[in-house]
Chain A
Amino acid sequence: MAVRTIDVRERIMARNDELAQQVRERLREAGVPALNLVSSPGAGKTLLLERTLADLGDELVISVVTGDVQTQNDADRLARHTDRLVQAVITNGACHLDAKQVLTALDAIDLAATDLLFIENVGNLVCPASWDLGENAKIVLFSVTEGEDKPVKYPKMFQQARTVVFTKLDLLPHVPFKLERAIEFCRQVNPELQFLSTAALTPDGLDEWYGFLWAEARSGARGKRG
């Protein structure tokens, strides 16, 4: 009997990337910009989205897909601030969302009536960097209660991201975090990064963020008209 060698040479992420392309295509056709929010656990993704839905929900139609290892607590929190469907994906142990889960979640979302889609990924700075979800951009939330050197510890995530959103800026006087040093580390791994500062528990702490979101939504609206 002979042992035969079958040549395969196929990328292990090929299937995910193919599905991500389908997500990207559906979003492009509908003119919906999609932002994939990634961070360490506890950086403030859900709070940022709660405030965003409460403050912009009357002017922008925002849909959300949330990913959690267990529970749909985040989706329940967000649903209190919007009458739009918040799609919860429970990954059952997996530490990231994949393109198949997002593609399935899109089936329940009225994309034609959506201005902006958020994908709230599982809190993890490692694996979500490797999984393309068909998003327009990965946005890393980086809280001032973390170490400034997160970008050099988790370079792939910061290399994949387009924007870093610093969160909990109102805590800056009480923690040893140095914003300039954190920005330096970010630029070491990705000189193209754009930076935003937020403080979701203060009244005007999200102005810069909202300016950014309006610009994103307007880019999608141009796609809708086109």
Chain B
Amino acid sequence: MHELGLALEVCRMTEERLGADGMAQVRAVGVEIGDDAGIEVGNFQFCLETLLAEPPFRGAHPVILRRPGDVLRLAYLEVDDGRPDD
């Protein structure tokens, strides 16, 4: 439940940053989780994967980055916004 709540918060932060229309463009969501953050990583990853598989997302995948300490943050978003290569 705790992990699901946090995964939902990651989705909210993603929407805040990209807007409702931008969520379909997300390909990957990078989350840093500290060893002392009190998070069951496998459970969190499963919750986030489940949420990212459903609209308004289109199957983005979570990338969990283990860190020392108690850090817990959304590190990056990978998006394919249809713009041509530079």
Contacts and interface: CB of A to CB of B under 8 A. Distances in A.
B81 interface: yes
A8 B38 contact: no
* Size bracket, chain B contacts: 20 to 34
Contacts of B81: 4
B84 A2 contact: yes
A9 interface: yes
A15 B76 CA distance: 17
Interface string A6-19: 11111111011000
Most buried by B among A16, A93, A94, A130: A130
A16 B72 CA distance: 13
B2 A127 contact: yes
B47 interface: no
A189 interface: no
A12 B76 contact: no
Contacts of A150: none
Contact of B13 (A10, A94, A96, A129): A10
A175 interface: no
A127 B31 contact: no
B82 A8 contact: no
A12 B74 contact: yes
Interface string A112-132: 000000000000001101100
B75 interface: yes
Contact of B1 (A3, A4, A9, A95): A95
A1 B84 contact: yes
The 6 closest A-B pairs by CB, nearest first: A127-B2, A95-B1, A2-B85, A6-B77, A11-B73, A8-B74
Given A1-B85, A12-B6, A96-B2, 8 more contacts: A2-B80, A2-B84, A2-B86, A3-B80, A5-B76, A9-B76, A10-B74, A93-B1
Interface of B: 1-2, 5-6, 9-10, 12-13, 17-18, 27, 31, 38, 71-86
15 contacts: A1-B80, A4-B79, A5-B76, A6-B77, A8-B76, A9-B74, A10-B73, A10-B74, A12-B74, A13-B9, A13-B72, A15-B9, A15-B13, A95-B1, A126-B38
